[in-house]
Amino acid sequence: MYQLDRHLGEDSEFFDDLLDMTIGELKKEIDLRNAAEEELEEQFNEMDLQISPLSTYNRSKAAEYAKKYATKSNPNYKRYNSNCTNFVSQAVHAGGKKEKKPSSVNRGITETTKYWYNDDSYDCNGNNCYWRTKISTSWIRVKDFYTYWLNKGMDVTTSANKNTIVNNAKVGDVIQFKNKSGWYHSVIVTKKANGTVYISSNTKDYYNEDFKDKSAVSFRVINIK
């Protein structure tokens, strides 16, 4: 947070004021400045919420990424047991959507729909190599991915009718599947032709399979923009 040394050589009056402060007053001053910085960060987050829907999304690049890694994992990313939303997030990121991270990223899987990021890294200590997990649930979890992008202003169409989904889906969009237990699967649209859309996925790896051949209780398409 607030660092006193940022004012070195810049504001002599700042240090003159510090000399007249007690420890308690100094602590209060730092707390006030920290609170001001936190408020400013929140304002930037709100600005990002308003601006991000207008940012450029390259649908072709997202589809190209999916084509390359649908049936083989990108070695730069950790593969999870349920990898579908992780894969979709990677493709959306490759299409130009930027990660959103807190000022400090915690180790492990962080439950959040406010941020969207993957900071996993492959580390080695001698011959012992392992993945160091630092990732948000919005990157890897079906429901949290949906909530994050819904809050970012993305349009969503939900229907049990496959034709409705096809009519509202474009290359680079994300389709999620629902069964009796809830929303459980994410795929990305990699082609649209012949009156249908073709989708790609991980966990059960496949590329350009006909969406109309899939079954579920309901579907929803998230229009990434």
Any domain includes 180: yes
pLDDT tens, position by position, 157-184 = 999 999 999 999 999 999 999 999 999 9
Residue 135 burial (C-beta neighbours within 10 Å; 0-12, 13-18, 19+)? buried
The pair phi, psi for residue 140, each rounded to 5°, is -120, -10
pLDDT tens, position by position, 6-43 = 444 444 554 455 555 566 666 666 666 655 555 555 45
If one compares 17 and 97, the residue with the highest pLDDT of the two is: 97
- Same-domain pairing of 170 and 216: yes
Taking the C-alpha atoms of residue 21 and residue 223, their distance in angstroms, rounded to an integer, is: 55
- Same-domain pairing of 69 and 128: yes
Taking the C-alpha atoms of residue 136 and residue 188, their distance in angstroms, rounded to an integer, is: 19
- Same-domain pairing of 59 and 46: no
Taking the C-alpha atoms of residue 195 and residue 75, their distance in angstroms, rounded to an integer, is: 35
Looking at the predicted structure, is the pLDDT value of residue 154 above 90?
A: yes
- Same-domain pairing of 35 and 119: no
- Same-domain pairing of 219 and 135: yes
- Same-domain pairing of 121 and 172: yes
**What percent of the chain is modeled with pLDDT above 90?**
68
Any domain includes 3: no
Residue 143: band (very low, low, confident or very high) from pLDDT cuts 50, 70, 90: very high
Looking at the predicted structure, is the pLDDT value of residue 1 above 90?
A: no
Domain extent at residue 16: 11-52
Any domain includes 207: yes
Taking the C-alpha atoms of residue 100 and residue 45, their distance in angstroms, rounded to an integer, is: 9
State pTM to two decimals.
0.74
| Number of domains making up the chain | 2
- Same-domain pairing of 131 and 27: no
- Same-domain pairing of 198 and 212: yes
Residue 32 is predicted with a pLDDT of: 64
The pair phi, psi for residue 109, each rounded to 5°, is -95, 120
- Same-domain pairing of 96 and 22: no
pLDDT tens, position by position, 66-89 = 999 999 999 999 999 999 999 999
Any domain includes 1: no
Residue 127 is predicted with a pLDDT of: 84
Q: Rounded mean pLDDT of 105-124?
A: 93
Crossing angle (nearest 10°) for helices 84-94 and 142-151? 30
- Same-domain pairing of 174 and 110: yes
